[in-house]
Amino acid sequence: MEHPDRFETLDPENWDEMRRLAHRIVDDALDYIRTAHDRPAWRPVPAAISQRLEQAAPRGPSDPAEVYEEFRRDILPYPMNTAHPRFWAWYMGSGTVIGALADLLASALNPNLGGGNHVAPLVEKQVIGWVREMVGFPADSSGLLTSGGSMANFTALTVARNTNAGYDVRHTGVAAAPGPLTAYASTEVHSCNPKAIETLGLGSGGLRLIPVRDDYTLDLEALRRRVASDRAEGCIPFCVIATAGTINTGAVDDMDAIADFCSSEGLWFHVDGAIGAVAVLADNVRDQLAGMERADSIALDLHKWMHIPFEAGCVIVRDRAAHRDAFALVPEYLQREADGRGMASGRLWFSDYGLQLTRQFRALKVWMSIKEHGLDRFGRMIARNVEQAAYLGDLIEAADQLELTAPIGLDIVCFRFNPGGLDVESLNRLNQDILVELQESGVAAPSYTTLNGSYCLRVAISNHRSRLEDFDLLVREVRRIGRQLAGADSL
């Protein structure tokens, strides 16, 4: 029943109260970021809270101020504190303040970036153009903002498969291939790529993992041999994935050499640049990325080393028609007038270039962040992290009982505490315990990896708030905890 005075919608019952709450939320959000360093780099979620977070959905309404109080009590204190200056886990970004505000605006405007004639697609187009220029691709390349590197890689590998299969995969499917379609990457390739190849119907064996050299870059000779033997056995090699910044150690494959190889073999050259591609902005990295601009496609993350709030990735494809051919499928209810009038006009339908139809306005946080800071400042932040990685490496080499476990790639430092005299297993366990103690202390949040059987601490700096003294503190704490645990062990 409609009552003229109380017509039910999802809007606030009291806009003035909601406005006051909104101002408070913005204040609290800014305070949260500004004081992130005062809170632990990580803290576990108490059991009482995780239990509350299993309750069933309420059937009735609550006051929005009460909902917000619940947020303040149960959610705000237990974050993944990526804004902390000593948050160095996995490979993240530390956020931009204007990016957070842009997300609020994007949700307030709430456009759908699948397509249509409105302003938001023009913003996404501009942002993609900026990225395209950064990575040195031609003006008629296509692109798409994605949730992240995983979807960017998936999108590019789909185009690669469809383009190089030699028949209409979309129509006939992979089962009709005259031989196994095979892609190539180093053993250090990020796990989202095997996931993509599996999802593309090629099986996990469809991605050949090529050995790496001592510096963790792809061994080109091994690649050459494997492609030749695969061809001899009737496989259909279609793509090589080079990594610009591996997740373990930040290694950058020799992209010029891989580009040469791909062009001589007629293979699609894809770059997974989730970590390193945006480092073309940094004076002390750019040269390492030579050859990236020769790729057929490139996947990169803006929410890692560019610090845009999650989620923000991007894929750029040199051959626009091939990109569109892989994804465009237009049913009657989405038919549009390319040059006509009205909301369904215009040629800019991003849903033709990926899996998603409905898409969020993630371009806005990228657009506002780049406008505020300019690309050069992002480049300086990246360059500083690379210098900090070298600084941390020097500290580790100068400290007894600490040792680097891999060459430092970009901003990723792998090391361990080694008091000597321990077998591999005990040494691994000791370093696992050090990491957990360090994380639980809240002082710093590095993560870990295992290289050639050695468990090590892994510091992926990618943080625009880290200072040199943060690394001094890290080294001090690792040695203190290490000595304590090693001493306790020998009792």
Residues at the interface with ligand PLP (CB under 6 A) = 91, 148-150, 153, 190, 192, 243, 247, 272, 274-275, 301, 313
Nearer to ligand PLP, 273 or 419 (CB): 273
Please state the closest distance from residue 410 (CB atom) to ligand PLP, in A: 11
Please state the closest distance from residue 259 (CB atom) to ligand PLP, in A: 18
Which two structure tokens, joined as six digits, stand for 482?
């290490």
Contacts 24+ apart (CB under 8 A), 476-481: 477/438, 477/441, 477/443, 477/444, 478/402, 478/417, 478/434, 478/438, 479/399, 479/401, 479/402, 479/417, 481/434, 481/437, 481/438, 481/441
Nearer to ligand PLP, 217 or 418 (CB): 217
Nearer to ligand PLP, 411 or 433 (CB): 411
Instruction: List strands edge to edge, sheet with 142-146.
Output: 142-146, 313-317, 297-301, 268-273, 236-243, 181-186, 207-210
Please state the closest distance from residue 238 (CB atom) to ligand PLP, in A: 20
The residues that bridge with 339 in the sheet, in sequence order, are: none
Nearer to ligand PLP, 235 or 317 (CB): 317
Please state the closest distance from residue 458 (CB atom) to ligand PLP, in A: 12
Please state the closest distance from residue 204 (CB atom) to ligand PLP, in A: 17
Instruction: List strands edge to edge, sheet with 87-88.
Output: 87-88, 445-451, 454-460, 412-417, 402-404
CA–CA distances in Å: residue 445 to residues 31, 70, 159, 488: 21, 27, 37, 23
Nearer to ligand PLP, 146 or 428 (CB): 146
Q: What is the CA radius of gyration of the chain?
A: 25
CA–CA distances in Å: residue 309 to residues 322, 364, 434, 453: 30, 11, 30, 34
Beta strands in 193-267 (DSSP E): 207-210, 236-243
Which two structure tokens, joined as six digits, stand for 456?
């090590």
Closest CA to 89 of 390, 442, 460, 440: 460
Please state the closest distance from residue 144 (CB atom) to ligand PLP, in A: 14
Closest CA to 146 of 298, 260, 286: 298
Nearer to ligand PLP, 185 or 322 (CB): 185
Local structure of 447: helix, strand or coil = strand
How many Cα atoms within 13 Å fall on the side-chain side of residue 461?
A: 29
Please state the closest distance from residue 334 (CB atom) to ligand PLP, in A: 27
Please state the closest distance from residue 277 (CB atom) to ligand PLP, in A: 10
Nearer to ligand PLP, 274 or 368 (CB): 274
Nearer to ligand PLP, 275 or 315 (CB): 275
Please state the closest distance from residue 342 (CB atom) to ligand PLP, in A: 36
Nearer to ligand PLP, 307 or 349 (CB): 307
